[in-house]
Amino acid sequence: MTNKKEINASVIIIGNEVLSGRTKDLNTSTVSMWLNSIGIIVREVRVIPDIEKIIVDTVIELSSKFNYVFTTGGIGPTHDDITAESISKAFNLEYGFHKEAFSILEKYYEPGQFNEGRQKMAKMPINAKLILNPSSGAPGFYVKNVFCLPGVPSILKSMLGGLNNVLVGGDPILSKTINLRTYESEIAKSLTNVQDNNKDVEIGSYPFFRQGKLGVSLVLRSVDQIKIDKCNSQILEFVKEKNIKLVEID
């Protein structure tokens, strides 16, 4: 099996609250896992503040380097939600009320509740294409190869499915995890040999601590299940030779 040309992406997490530690970033894993499932490899993630120049410069840079860019955060109703206006400036696009977005939100809220703050969520590049929001009404949007999603993880997750037919992916990224009761130093040399013999399989090594004991999770990733199975067999060979215990993790 030969992989199609690699399709890659970057993710920009926008928000002072993430940088300060007040809000945990759950969106990187959500977006990355979804992209992997449709054959798009995330090659870079950045966390940046709600500062217009930084958003503009980062979007311009990453949109020229990657097939797709995904931003999360900064498209809500408050004063510090400046992502939509910053994207407009990055691409020199007219910023204002998006007619379709305004109509969606106007219908979503009860009469009299569509106030000025909520109307702000309909402001974006006026010719942007919308990413529909089945959770809370306010749509995301995309222009060129930049896709702008909200920062609330549950809402973001509900919106991803609407993009499945918009993005062009490669072969889905497959994975296999092997959990071992061992130390990285004990398997480092053997693991290097396996990696050298399996260039088309990415092998990640991640220590864990469960029930008072250390262990290592090995994650094998490739577009080809046969290559993963071959790599898995070679790892299990040296695991057996070294008398290392396989463990299950819930």
Residues sharing a CB contact under 8 Å with residue 222, sequence separation 6 or more, in sequence order: 173, 174, 200, 201, 202, 228, 231
Domains and CATH numbers, the chain: 7-163 (3.40.980.10), 174-246 (3.30.70.600)
Average pLDDT on 95-107 reads 96
pTM > 0.85: yes or no: no
pLDDT of 117 > 70? The answer is yes
CA atoms within 13 A on the CB side of 1: 13
Name the DSSP class of 85: H
Residue-level pLDDT at 3: 47
* Closest to 187 (Cα-Cα) out of 222, 224, 234, 229: 234
| Band of pLDDT at residue 249, cut at 50, 70 and 90 | low
